Amino acid sequence: MTETTPDSDVKFPPVVGAGPDEATISPATPGAAVADLPDGVDLVHEHGLEFKSRSQWAYARRRFFRHRLAMASFVVLMIILLAGVFAPLITPYPFAAQDFAHSGQPPTFKAHHYFGTDVLGRDYFSRVVYGIRTSAKVALIVTLVSTIVGTIIGAVAGYYTGWVDNILMRFTDLILTLPALALLLTAAAFLGTGNPTRVAFILALLFWTGLARIVRGSFLSLREKEFVEAAKAAGSGDLRIMFRHMLPNAVGPIVVNATLIVGIAILTEAALSFLGFGIQPPNPSLGKLISDGQDVSSSMWWLVTFPGLTIVLIVLCINFIGDGLRDALDPTQRRTRA
């Protein structure tokens, strides 16, 4: 079994090194190894030795698409959102049109009353769809504003540290010591409500705190990294360093949390409207729809059920998407699927 002769088709000089004392068999330098090879032998591209290099974003994208639930939720959510955007086109009736002849009907397909009608004969499907529209609008405003505010505050606190950080974080903590819903209700009660935009801004007043904390944490660790020192040495100003160099690295958790904020915003707005402190008629709101249906809930169950189910579906999709994003963007999470 011992082989002492090399293959017959290839002849090489013996590999033995130089003199007996040194006795070092010099390991080939890469250049030498390749130069010594006969033609036609290319070790780099040999089968099994290739490496595909992928960028970070490509990895993230690939992981997101692998998350089937997130993908499915994305599709469902898009459908729902589009329904809201194109509400006038898809709703069979205007949402305020009253029709006493057909009031209080359970869901049917006949007269296109998919979700039934309410006490005043208004088509419930239309009302729910318009409610989706409002919820989407409020949620987007809240998320945008609180993300921007939270990111700025967190970035400043995490970058400058010291007393700036102290003050900002104490302020954030202070807001957190007060019960969220109660604060919102108070603000709403005294500031007046009704208008979706106004409600959105009231909500945004509170929602930036979580994001600020997270961004601050990210920036605190990022500022120790060498590329920040390098940027400083190159003469970049603080603002440039913060937003051009550090922020792109903190984007992952920001995106994930912003997604979750959308869901919480929808739930909170619904709660406010339900209690009467949120969006008021004539603006439609899913929460208000539920509270309207509360009194007759035992007989006309659909008045409470459909708006609620819609909320659950929307937030569920958002949460799954957030989970998928977290999988995609958080490199420390490993899921080995057998």
Partner 1 sequence: MTGFATPSTRLSAERVPEPILSIRDLVVEFATEDGVVHAVDGVTYDVFPGETLGIVGESGSGKSVSQLAILGLIPQPPGRILRGEADFQGRDLLKMSKKDLRRLRGGEVAMVFQDPMTSLNPVLKIGEQIAEAIQVHQEDVSGKAAKERTIALLKVVGVPNPDRRYDQYPHEFSGGMRQRAMIAMAIANEPKLLIADEPTTALDVTIQAQILEALKKAQEESHAATILITHDLGLIAELADRVVVMYAGKVVELTDVQTLFAAPRHPYTVGLMDSLPRLTADEEWLRPIPGQPPSLISRPPGCPFHPRCFLSQGRARCRTEEPPLRKIGRDGHLSACHFAEELEGHTSKLVNEPVAGATS
Partner 2 sequence: MVTYIVRRLLYSIPVLFAASVLIFFTVTAVGDPLANLKQNPLFSQQTIHNIQERKHLNDPLTTQYAYWVKDAVTNKFGSPLLQPGTKIWNDLKRVIPHTLQLVLLAEILALIVGVAIGVYSAIRQYSIFDYAATTFSFLGFAMPVFWLALMLQILFTNIFIKWHVRIFYTSGLSSQDPGSGIHFWIDRLQHLAIPAMTLMLLSIAQYGRFMRASMLEVINSDYVRTARAKGLPERTVTLKHALRNALIPVVTVSAINFGALIGGAVITESIFQLDGMGPYFLNALFNQDAYVVMAWLMVSATAIIIFNVIADVLYGYIDPRIRYD
Identity of the residue, 25 or 312, whose beta carbon is nearer to partner 1 in the bound complex: 25
Q: Which residue in this structure is represented by tokens 């915003």?
A: 265
> Amino acid identity of 312?
V
Q: Sketch the per residue contact string, 238 through 277, with partner 2: x for CB under 8 A, - otherwise.
A: -------------------------x---x--xx--xx-x
User: Are 124 and 303 spatial neighbours (Cβ–Cβ below 8 Å)?
Assistant: yes
At 1, list the tokens: 């079994």
The answer to whether 169 contacts partner 2 (rule: CB under 8 A) is no
Tell the smallest beta-carbon distance from residue 36 to partner 1 (Å): 5
Q: Which of 78, 120, 181, 251 binds partner 2 (CB under 8 A)?
A: 181
The answer to whether 58 contacts partner 2 (rule: CB under 8 A) is no
Identity of the residue, 161 or 305, whose beta carbon is nearer to partner 2 in the bound complex: 305
Tell the smallest beta-carbon distance from residue 170 to partner 2 (Å): 8
User: Are 169 and 157 spatial neighbours (Cβ–Cβ below 8 Å)?
Assistant: yes
Secondary element (H or E) of residue 268? helix 247-275
Among partner 1, partner 2, none, residue 282 binds (CB under 5-8 Å by kind): none
Residues 6+ apart with CB under 8 A from 193: 199, 202, 272, 277, 278, 279, 280
In degrees, to the nearest 5, what angle opens at C-alpha 105 toward C-alphas 104 and 108?
160
Tell the smallest beta-carbon distance from residue 184 to partner 2 (Å): 10
Tell the smallest beta-carbon distance from residue 218 to partner 1 (Å): 25
User: Are 289 and 128 spatial neighbours (Cβ–Cβ below 8 Å)?
Assistant: yes
Task: Kindly write down the DSSP assignment for every residue of 143-207, as one continuous string.
Answer: HHHHHHHHHHHHHHHHHH-HHHHHHHHHHHHHHHHS-HHHHHHHHHHHH--B-HHHHHHHHHHHH
Rounded distance between C-alpha atoms, residue 115 and residue 122, angstroms: 10
User: Are 83 and 125 spatial neighbours (Cβ–Cβ below 8 Å)?
Assistant: no
Which one of 58-66, 75-83, 106-114, 174-182 is the stretch in contact with partner 2 (CB under 8 A)? 174-182
The answer to whether 287 contacts partner 2 (rule: CB under 8 A) is yes
Binding site residues, partner 1, CB under 8 A: 1-4, 6-7, 9-10, 12, 14-17, 22-30, 33, 36-38, 41, 43, 46-49, 51, 335-338
* Count of Cβ atoms closer than 10 Å to residue 314 Cβ: 25
Which residues in 293-332 contact partner 2 (CB under 8 A)? 294, 297-298, 301, 304-305, 308, 311-316, 318-320
Tell the smallest beta-carbon distance from residue 226 to partner 1 (Å): 25
Interface contacts to partner 2, rule CB under 8 A: 170, 173-175, 177-183, 185-187, 189-191, 263, 267, 270-271, 274-275, 277, 287, 290, 294, 297-298, 301, 304-305, 308, 311-316, 318-320, 337
